[in-house]
Amino acid sequence: MLIPESDRRGILQHAKTLLDKLKVYDIKITALTLESKLQEALATGLEVLQALGIHFPSTLSQLELSKVLQQTAVHLAGREVEDLINLPEMQSVQQLAAMQIISSIMSPAFRVGHKILPFLILEMVNLSLKHGNTALSTLGYVMYGLILCGTSEEIPLGYQFGQLALSLLELYDAQYIECHINFVFNVSIYHWQQPVQKTIKPLKEAYQIAISSKRKKCLHWATWLQPLPTR
């Protein structure tokens, strides 16, 4: 249930630390997104991330993106993708909060076509590599797989990250993002390595999960999945 704007302001005024305020900020971002105030939702999230010590390049150029992609590759050097499921669980409250805020502003960033989206994805991956996995790491990994398959044309590696996201999703039993992860994997990754016909069954399952959950974010994905063929 969303907290009315007046109540959110009152809670924020009485909260003593940033971490106390984070849940309210997250609810605010969700509310703004549902109201299609996407730029404001994104700006709110980026402001919170800055307060958490997470900064992005002032110029979101292809050159800067290449640098961050290279940094991520360095963090992955010598590691097998399938072994990342064995990373320790993320413990830092501050890093967990950052993962939540990033996940919340991915949708508005995508919907407005903002150049910051790949930087958000890579930040999630790097936070997981440095501080351990959380259920939301699945989102970072599957979106990173999308980047690798599409922009970077590293299809086998991207497919591995998609598979990692699915395995981690099962490990955490994170039903609240299951429809999202399945959607991205089956629409944007799976067909690079497998026949496209094989995507229909899991996408139908993702649709049923979205409908049964009745979560607004999941219902958003369900609208994309509804036109699937019946056979």
Q: What is the DSSP letter of 30?
A: H
**Contact yes or no for 218/209 (Cβ under 8 A):** yes
| Residue whose structure tokens are 């605010």 | 28
Residue 94: exposed, middle, or buried by beta-carbon count in 10 A (0-12, 13-18, 19+)?
middle
The mean pLDDT values, 10 residues at a time, for the chain of 231 residues are 52 62 87 92 95 92 95 94 96 94 94 94 97 97 95 91 95 83 87 83 72 59 50 48
Q: Degrees (nearest 5) of the Cα angle 170, 173, 177?
A: 95
Q: What pLDDT is stored for residue 1 in this prediction? A: 45
Sign of the CA dihedral 133, 139, 140, 146? positive
- Output Rg (C-alpha) for the chain, integer angstroms: 18
| Residue whose structure tokens are 């067909």 | 191
Q: Degrees (nearest 5) of the Cα angle 193, 194, 200?
A: 135
Rounded to an integer, what distance in angstroms lies between the CA atom of residue 149 and that of residue 106?
A: 19
Residues 6+ positions from 191 with CB-CB distance below 8 Å: 199
DSSP codes, 189-221: TGGGTS-GGGGHHHHHHHHHHHHHH--HHHHHH
Q: What is the DSSP letter of 90?
A: P
Per-residue b or e along 37-71, where b marks 16 or more CB atoms closer than 10 Å to that residue's CB: ebeebbebbbebbeebebebeeeeeeeebeebbee
